[in-house]
Each structure stands twice: as C-alpha cells, then as structure tokens.
Chains A and B, each alone.
Chain A
C-alpha cells in the first residue's frame, strides 16, 4: 500500500538553527498538508498546499515557516530560526480527493534545545 514517508524520524537542533523536514507524499495525490502535535496537546494544522501554492495556513505558520514542493515529489517544511516551543511531532499528510481521509506519514519528532 502506498505510503507517505518522512525523514528524519527524529531531529535535535539548537535554538535559532534552521531545520528542514522532508516528506514524500503519495505520487498521485494532489493535496498536501503539515500538522504538528506538541506533547500532551491536540494535533494542530499548520498549512495546506495545492497546485504548487499554499491554499491555507494557520496562525502558527508565521514568517519563520515555509513550505516547498521543489521537484514534484518532495514536500518540505522549513523552520528558519527554531524556538523551544517548536518542539513537537510534525506530520506530513496528503490526499487525492477532497472527500477521502488523509494519508499521514509517521512523523518527525523535532526537539529544540
């Protein structure tokens, strides 16, 4: 069964450093998303991406965050200058049709120290 793959599975970074979280969505999917879950909190939406542009973003997704789909397969989330409060599990997801559930990756646990 097709999967959404995310790398790395765990990343530790120093506060203020830039990180890039990588995702390879399912090849025929059209809609791409990033979500995150801070420990003990709800899963929260960051951004959705369709037709090579951001279609919606949350208040969390400020100027420190950006997304790219540079080559038609990878979908990346960049955090320019990480803060302690960015520590969370980050999930990439995609779907092919608006009325289907999402396929999630297994997540990248980001720890900012």
Chain B
C-alpha cells in the first residue's frame, strides 16, 4: 500500500517570501509523482508529473525536485504572492504503473499574507 505524506500541514508566509514543502513516499516501486494546486472553490490543477530521479521541473515561480532513492519531492515557490494561496497536493500512482489510481497526501495549505 502506498503511503504519501506531506509536510507541513499548513504554512503562513508573507508576500515576497520564498517557501518550500515536502512530499514523502516509499522509494521502492516508484513510478511517478504528481503535484497539484487546489484553490478554494476551484478544481485541483496539475502542476507537475515527475518520473525520473533527479528530475527538476519549473512553472513560473514554482519548481519541484524529485529524489526517488530517498523517497521525497520538494515543491518550491519563489517570491510568494497572495494568489499562490492554495492547498498543494502530491500524489503517486499505486497500481504498479505510472498512471491510474492515485494515492494522495493530506496536502499543505499555503496562505500568503499581503
């Protein structure tokens, strides 16, 4: 059974601060790691799908790294803005492939104060 854990559970930062949070997963039988941003009253939005150890992906001010050997991924936000306030979810497929059933972490709730 895949167990995906995220930390911290919540985070409050000031506008302009850079921040990062962690997603941990079992390093054995790794297939892929998804990151989603979920704003209140909206649908979760895919940020990254990472598959290779050492992967680093970037989308604007948001970037993510992946370490499959030690079982973690970091999500970084540079120069946080109030519109970055959201719940950030990571998830991994647990069906023995890189797709299909995703097991989600509990999310990190980010609040960026103006």
Binds A, one of B20-28, B65-73, B75-83, B101-109: B101-109
A42 touches B99 (CB 8 A): no
A1-51 residues with Cβ-Cβ distance < 8 A to B are 3-4, 31, 35, 41-45, 48
**Looking across the interface, which residue of chain A has its beta carbon closest to that of B34?**
A101
Q: Smallest CB–CB gap between B61 and chain A, Å?
A: 19
Binds B, one of A69-77, A78-86, A102-110: A102-110
Q: Smallest CB–CB gap between B80 and chain A, Å?
A: 22
In the bound complex, how far is the Cα of B36 from the Cα of A42, in angstroms?
A: 13
* Known contacts A91-B44, A104-B44; A99 and B49 CB within 8 A of each other: yes
A31 touches B47 (CB 8 A): no
In the bound complex, how far is the Cα of B4 from the Cα of A45, in angstroms?
A: 13
A48 touches B89 (CB 8 A): no
A31 touches B99 (CB 8 A): yes
Interface centre among B42, B100, B107 (most CB of A within 10 A): B100
In the bound complex, how far is the Cα of B104 from the Cα of A58, in angstroms?
A: 14
* Known contacts A42-B106, A56-B101, A98-B98; A107 and B36 CB within 8 A of each other: no
In the bound complex, how far is the Cα of B105 from the Cα of A42, in angstroms?
A: 6
From A102, A105, A106, contact of B102 by CB (8 A) = A102
Residues of B within 8 A of A91 (CB): 43-44
Q: Smallest CB–CB gap between B9 and chain A, Å?
A: 11
Does B97 sit within 8 A of A, measured CB to CB? yes
* Known contacts A31-B99, A106-B41; A101 and B104 CB within 8 A of each other: no
A-B contact pairs, 26 of them (CB 8 A): A3-B43, A31-B99, A42-B104, A42-B105, A42-B106, A43-B91, A45-B103, A48-B101, A56-B95, A58-B101, A91-B44, A98-B99, A98-B100, A99-B49, A99-B51, A99-B98, A100-B49, A101-B49, A102-B46, A103-B43, A104-B36, A104-B43, A104-B44, A105-B43, A106-B43, A107-B43
State the B residues within 8 Å of A (CB): 32, 34, 36, 41-49, 51, 89, 91, 95, 97-107
